[in-house]
Amino acid sequence: MDSGLSPQDKKDLDKFIKFFALKTVQVIVQARLGEKICTRSSSSPTGSDWFNLAIKDIPEVTHEAKKALAGQLPGIGRSMCVEISLKTSEGDSMELETWCLEMNEKCDKDIKVSYTVYNRLSVLLKSLLAITRVTPAYKLSRKQGHDYVILYRIYFGEVQLSGLGEGFQTVRAGVVGTPVGTVTLSCAYRTNLAFMSNRQFERSAPIMGIIVDHFVDPPGSGPRTANMGHPCNYRAPDDDDGGPYAGVQDSQEVCTTSFSTSPPSQLYASRLSYHPQAGAAELGHPIHSVCCKAAPLPPQGLHAGKEHGGVASNPAQPAHGADAHLAAENVANTPGENGGRRRDEQPSPSDPLESLNAFTRKIGAFVNKPNIQTAAGLDLPFAAFAPRGLDSEDSDPMVQPPDSPTCPSPLQASLHSQDSEGSGPQDDFVMVDFRPAFSKDDLLPMDLGTFYREFQNPPQLASLSLHISSQSMADDLDSLPEKLAVYEKNIDEFDAFVDMLQ
């Protein structure tokens, strides 16, 4: 096969392929570190930037790659593979994707090694950069830290795709023909992230708080545990959920409405549950929503976007209320906790996100989301203990403006405008990060945190209480015909106004 290739070319080609393999691994691993990558362009060549691309070399990664290659080069039947997997704080792990650098027999004899092959390899690396941000594992890796971490493993030889579950998809970054074979770079990624949902009924032993400094990462200890730098401090907090009242989408509810234990310990538990990893239990329960009448919710669309299961969404916005939501809510999921809360859930393992969105979008009274009735109902403290009948009509009367769509609209409009700036799952009320600034980070009665929590959820205004609002609704209904008559009378004015706007 090498007959047409001069020794110099052969040497160059081998060198290119070797460094290409090393750079490929760097790109893949760096893309899964959970951080945004930024390198600078330099107009004067430095001589050490292979393929004219500024790709940093993380020494451990190079070391691992060289170890795996053991002096060989990817060849026919000998592929270099980088396996990306996810490991939860409980110790479960799941393969997410496998990147394969393969060589096949199709040779392109006429191609110029030092020039065309080099440039094409460079383009292929750029494609790899682009593609690594597109596969589902990228989003997962950006959110790693608390609940789970992303690990990589490099191996050489036969490609093993069995760990990816059923229905995995493949995407190809590209091919480059060389005189000794065609280099192919592709990725097989898992689409079925369902393993998480099986754990919903388990609670593992509490994990004592461990802080792993992200600058110290043990080099690969064992084939599957080569750690990648954690981008943030990782703390697996206590999993003691005692009797948090649950049903709480809102962690404040945990402390304000719990009855079981004494306040400080309750707070302790609940506070920990804010660190969205309320450890183990959480992972086990990807957002099986307690309250959502989720079925009618938009969901399938959400499903498409993030069928990566609860894990992805759990640490969604670190230090945002959304996390607190999840933490508390998942905490609530532990069975036997409060049967009351589970009344009409429909665990939908395939749509964990839908419930997430149900929660994070649940807010106060004025948003026109009639589907989230139960969620809205839970706004009322102790609502779970209210008679059932009340709950069902509890869907905030303001949420169902009967005929006059204009009624809640000013509020809706203002809420919408708040929403529109946000990104990601939003909450219309300000969610407080429960690590209040300037407060000491200890677990005993913390004044600032307590204060925030207690006053975060003030009692309902009297005017919004059920009796009065239903009365006012009746009044509204009565006055409707009159209002309509007035509007009709002035219809010309309105038309003129509209014309003026156009």
Partner 1 sequence: MNCRSEVLEVTVEARQVEEAMLALLHTILLHRSSGKFHYKKEGTYSIGTVGTLDIDCDFIDFTFVRVSSEELDRVIRKAVSEFKDALSNSGSDGMGQISLEFYQKKKSRWPFSDECIPWEVWSIKVNVVNLANEQERQICREKVGEKLGEKVINVVEVINRHEYLPKMPTQSEVDNVFDTSLKDVQPYLYKITYQITDSLGTSVSTTMRRLIKDTLALFMQSVTSHMGRTGFPVCNFSKSKHLLFTLKFSSQKTVAPSLKNIRVDICLSAE
Which residues contribute to the site for partner 1 (CB under 8 A)?
36-46, 49, 52-54, 115, 120, 122-124, 126-127, 129-131, 133-134, 138-139, 142, 171-177, 297-298, 301-302, 304-306, 357, 361, 368-369, 416, 419-420, 423-426
Q: Closer CB to partner 1, residue 11 or residue 112? A: 112
Shortest distance in whole angstroms from residue 447 CB to partner 1: 36
Q: At what angle do helices 7-31 and 118-132 cross, to 10 degrees?
A: 10
Q: Which two tokens stand for residue 143?
A: 């959110």
Nearer to partner 1, 244 or 425 (CB): 425
Which residues touch 130 (CB under 8 Å, ≥6 apart)? none
Q: How far is the CB of 143 from partner 1 (least distance, A)?
A: 12
> Mapped to the 3 state alphabet, what secondary structure does 314-381 carry?
CCCCCCCHHHHHHHHHHHHHCCCCCHHHHCCCCCCCCCHHHHHHHHHHCCCCCCCCCCCHHHHHCCCC
Q: For residues 99 and 268, which CB has a smaller minimum distance to partner 1 in the complex?
A: 99
Nearest Cα neighbor of 327 from 391, 291, 281, 293 is 281
Residue 112 CB, nearest distance to partner 1 (Å)?
11
* Complex with partner 1: residue 54 or 161, whichever CB lies closer: 54
Nearer to partner 1, 334 or 395 (CB): 395
Q: Are 91 and 79 in contact (CB under 8 A)?
A: no
**What minimum distance in Å lies between the beta carbon of 488 and partner 1?**
26
Alpha-carbon span 318 to 435, nearest angstrom = 12
Residue 367 Cβ vs partner 1, minimum distance, rounded to whole Å: 8
122 φ, ψ (degrees, to nearest 5)? -65, -45
Cα–Cα distance between 288 and 208 in angstroms, integer? 25
- Shortest distance (Å) from residue 212 CB to partner 1: 25
Report long-range pairs for 89-92 (Cβ below 8 Å, ≥24 apart).
Answer: 89/146, 89/147, 89/148, 89/207, 89/236, 89/277, 89/279, 89/280, 89/283, 90/204, 90/207, 90/279, 90/280, 90/283, 90/284, 92/195, 92/199, 92/283
Residue type, 279: G
* Residue closer to partner 1 (CB basis): 340 or 424: 424
Q: Which is nearer to partner 1, 178 or 258 (CB)?
A: 178
At its nearest, how many Å lie between partner 1 and the CB of residue 136? 9
Of the pair 258, 360, the CB lying nearest partner 1 is at 360
Q: Determine the Cα–Cα distance for residues 398 and 384; give it in Å rounded to an integer.
A: 20
Nearer to partner 1, 183 or 281 (CB): 183
Please identify, using beta-carbon distances, which residue of 124 and 254 lies nearer to partner 1: 124
**Cβ 24 to partner 1, closest distance in Å?**
14
Smallest distance from partner 1 to CB 38, Å: 5
**Least gap, CB of 302 to partner 1 (angstroms):** 6
Alpha helices in 93-243 (DSSP H): 118-132, 136-142
CA distance to 62, 409, 433, per residue, from 19 (Å)? 10, 61, 45
Q: What is the largest CA-CA distance in the chain?
A: 95
